[in-house]
Homo-oligomer: A and B are copies of this chain.
Amino acid sequence: MIRVQTQDFDIGAEIAALTHGRADIGAVVTFTGLVRDVTGGASVSSMELEHYPGMTERELARIEEEANTRWRLQASLIIHRVGKLAPSDNIVLVVTASAHREDAFKAAEFLMDYLKTRAPFWKREAGSEGDRWVEARESDDEAAKRWDEKGG
């Protein structure tokens, strides 16, 4: 399941909705990404998340489908916020549920690595050094590449 939204999400409620009535789930992993007040030495007062409506949803669905092909997941969820955010606000939530922890952990890492390099979102930070577009991290490309070699 994927969602792109401006409003915040409630992690506990999302997990509960995903796992409700399912006694075949032994492991749930969540990843939450938050706005930090300092990045690369500059203080951040607010952040604006731009995206590509249409392609965003398609790309997230594609990434989620790929994770479900690679690992045995009982359920999965990706929520990504857009619009204006402040430090300590939630940005992204990934939830994976599986019978065993290995699948849930690997799938969550994979989802984040792919989301970071393929989902069309762009961050603009406002802060002590004025407004600036956040630059892509090389380490994110490398993190995504490791999934090409090993199947999981």
Binding site for B on A (CB under 8 A): 10-13, 15, 19, 21-38, 87-88, 99, 101-102, 104-105, 108-109, 112, 139, 143
- How far apart sit A143 and B38, CA to CA, in the bound complex (Å)? 35
A44 to chain B, nearest CB (A): 8
Could you write out 14 A-B pairs with CB less than 8 Å apart? Answer: A12-B12, A12-B13, A23-B35, A23-B87, A26-B34, A28-B31, A28-B34, A29-B29, A29-B31, A31-B104, A31-B105, A102-B139, A105-B105, A105-B112
**Chain B residues within an 8 Å CB radius of A30:** 11, 28-30, 32
Give the residues in chain B near A101, CB-CB below 8 Å: 31, 33, 112
**Shortest beta-carbon distance, A127 to chain B, in Å?**
12
CB distance B27 to A15 under 8 Å? no
The 4 closest A-B pairs by CB, nearest first: A12-B12, A23-B37, A23-B87, A28-B32
Q: How far is the CA of A149 from the CA of B15 in the complex (A)?
A: 34
CB distance from A60 to the nearest CB of B (A): 17
Residues of B within 8 A of A105 (CB): 31, 105, 108-109, 112
Q: Is the CB of A27 within 8 A of B23?
A: no
CA distance A26 to B35 in the complex (A): 6
Which residues on the B side are within 8 Å of A88 (C-beta)? 19, 21-23, 25
User: Smallest CB-CB separation from A100: which chain B residue?
Assistant: B139
Is the Cβ of A25 less than 8 Å from the Cβ of B34?
A: yes
Query: Which B residue's beta carbon lies closest to that of A43?
Result: B23
Closest to A12 in B: B12
